[in-house]
Amino acid sequence: MQNISPVWLYPMILAAGALQAWGPPMNSALRHALENPWLASIVSFLPIVAVLACLVMCFPSPLPSAKGLAMMPWWAPLGGLIGAFAVVAGLMFVSTVGASAFAGLTITANILMSLAIDRFGLFGMPVHELSLGRLAGAALMVAGIALVSRF
Whether residue 13 is contained in a domain is answered as no
pLDDT (mean) for 57-78: 94
Question: Shortest CA distance to 39 belongs to which of 79, 82, 87, 99?
Answer: 87
Residue 72: its pLDDT value, please?
A: 95
Residue 1 lies in a domain: no
Domain residue limits at 124: 22-150
86 compared with 51, residue with greater pLDDT? 51
pLDDT the model gives residue 151:
82
Q: Which amino acid is at 136?
A: A
Confidence (pLDDT) at 4: 80
Q: What's the pLDDT at 137?
A: 94
Overall number of domains in the chain: 1
Residue 7 maps to a domain: no
Residue 102 domain flag:
yes
Residue 49 counted as domain residue: yes
Q: Give the contacts of 134 (CB within 8 A, at least 6 positions apart).
A: 115
HSE-CB of 103 using CA atoms within 13 angstroms: 13
Q: Give the pLDDT confidence score for residue 3 in this predicted structure.
A: 78
Sorting pLDDT into bands at 50, 70 and 90, what band is 1?
low
Mean per-residue pLDDT over the chain, rounded: 92
Domain assignment present for 9: no
pLDDT at 126: 95
For the CA atoms of 138, 139, 143, 145, the dihedral, rounded to the nearest 10 degrees, stands at: 20
Residue 5 falls within a domain, yes or no? no
> Is the link from the previous residue into 77 a cis peptide, with omega within 30 of 0?
no
User: Could you tell me the sign of the dihedral formed by the alpha carbons of 73, 75, 80, 83, in that order?
Assistant: negative
| Confidence band of 9 (pLDDT split at 50, 70, 90) | confident
Residue 98 belongs to a domain: yes
Backbone phi, psi, residue 136, to 5°: -65, -40
Neighbours of 18 (CB within 10 A): 9
pTM (2 d.p.): 0.78
Q: Is 94 exposed, middle or buried (0-12, 13-18, 19+ CB in 10 A)?
A: buried
Query: Quick one: pLDDT band at residue 132, thresholds 50, 70, 90?
Result: very high
